[in-house]
Amino acid sequence: MSAKIIDGKQVSTEVRERVADQVAEFIASGGHQPVLATVLVGDDPASHVYVANKIKACEAVGIGSVHHELPAETSQDDLLTLVRALGDDDGVDGILVQLPPPDHIDPDAVIAAIDPAKDVDGLTATSAGLLVGGRPGLVSCTPAGVIELLDHAGTELEGAEAVIVGRSNLVGKPLISLLLARNATVTAAHSRTRDLPAVCRRADVLIAAVGVPELLGAEHVKPGATVIDVGINRTDDGLKGDVDFEAVSEIAGAITPVPGGVGPMTIAMLMVNTLAAAKSRSKQS
């Protein structure tokens, strides 16, 4: 193996420590304790684990949390009423509704009900619009975590060729704006891209956010490129990324592992966003 491993666990620990210090400073200078409201509908075991980890992360950095757990049969109207009430609640800085909700609830309607000032997942149309417009706002956590990892790895983004494979609203599209804001030359590839290996081989920075285990192999990677693997795919052989780690780590200059790469960054960036929302609300009040 020749690639340097970008250690998401270590970087996420550093980010959380930084947030803990900043929360303490904010409170010491007269600010209120930031509070994250989490909302979980139904019994999905993975969602329960994700929310529990988010609440634990809040405790560790000094952010308060209030948790709302609703039965699977909760109506969409009742959920929207709760989400709007959290928007009106002065004691709440961030709102996180764990997605996906049960099938009878439209996730877009839930996202639309979130107060953009408290949109710590960066999912509302307002947050997306601010990001595309290059204006300050809350950025969705996984793409923000990717940028944090690239910065930590010392990857030069200015003028670099960046190729993102995947154009989802959650990951690919925010990354287009974030990388453009850093003056990278950005290409977004997707399922209709012709000759994906050739497009990917142009990349100094290659980001995979596809959801297909080990789709990107050695033939997709320019020697020395930085490769960020967002993919989390459960397979019979365990958790796999979208990148064939073994083959690509022989060629890349730096690479994130799965697990232990982008994954741990998502919760760390949620903490960053919750503090940012608290600071911005306290300025406005």
Query: Residue 165 interacts with ligand NDP (CB under 6 A)?
Result: yes
Two tokens at 176?
């287009």
Query: Residue 215 interacts with ligand NDP (CB under 6 A)?
Result: yes
C-beta separation of 87 from 95 below 8 A = yes
Residue 195: active-site member: no
Query: Residue 232 interacts with ligand NDP (CB under 6 A)?
Result: yes
Among 196, 251, 275, 278, binds ligand NDP (CB under 6 A): 196
Query: Residue 6 interacts with ligand NDP (CB under 6 A)?
Result: no
In angstroms, the CA 254 to CA 123 distance is 29
Query: Residue 23 interacts with ligand NDP (CB under 6 A)?
Result: no
Sign for the pseudo-dihedral over CA of 266, 173, 148, 284: negative
Residues 6+ apart with CB under 8 A from 200: 163, 165, 189, 206, 216, 220, 221
In angstroms, the CA 156 to CA 149 distance is 12
Q: Which residue is nearest to ligand NDP (CB)?
A: 168
Query: What distance lies between CA 28 and its chain's CA centroid?
Result: 29
* Greatest Cα-to-Cα distance within the chain, rounded to the nearest angstrom: 56
Helix 141-152 / helix 172-181 crossing angle, nearest 10 deg: 40
Query: Residue 174 interacts with ligand NDP (CB under 6 A)?
Result: no
162 versus 170: smaller Cβ distance to ligand NDP: 170
Query: Residue 263 interacts with ligand NDP (CB under 6 A)?
Result: yes
Query: Residue 231 interacts with ligand NDP (CB under 6 A)?
Result: yes
Residues 6+ apart with CB under 8 A from 123: 111, 114, 140, 169, 170
Judged by CB under 6 A, how many residues of this single chain contact ligand NDP? Answer: 26
Among 33, 75, 81, 191, binds ligand NDP (CB under 6 A): 191
C-beta separation of 253 from 282 below 8 A = no
Query: Residue 211 interacts with ligand NDP (CB under 6 A)?
Result: yes
Query: Residue 170 interacts with ligand NDP (CB under 6 A)?
Result: yes
C-beta separation of 207 from 157 below 8 A = no
Helix 263-284 / helix 141-152 crossing angle, nearest 10 deg: 110
126 versus 193: smaller Cβ distance to ligand NDP: 193
Residue 54: active-site member: yes
Task: Point out the catalytic residue in the list 54, 118, 173, 240.
Answer: 54
Stretch touching ligand NDP by CB under 6 A, among 14-22, 92-100, 129-137, 188-196: 188-196
92 versus 262: smaller Cβ distance to ligand NDP: 262
Residues 6+ apart with CB under 8 A from 30: none
64 versus 174: smaller Cβ distance to ligand NDP: 174
Query: Residue 216 interacts with ligand NDP (CB under 6 A)?
Result: no
Query: Residue 172 interacts with ligand NDP (CB under 6 A)?
Result: yes
Binding site for ligand NDP (CB under 6 A): 142, 165-168, 170-172, 189-193, 196, 209-212, 215, 230-233, 262-263, 266
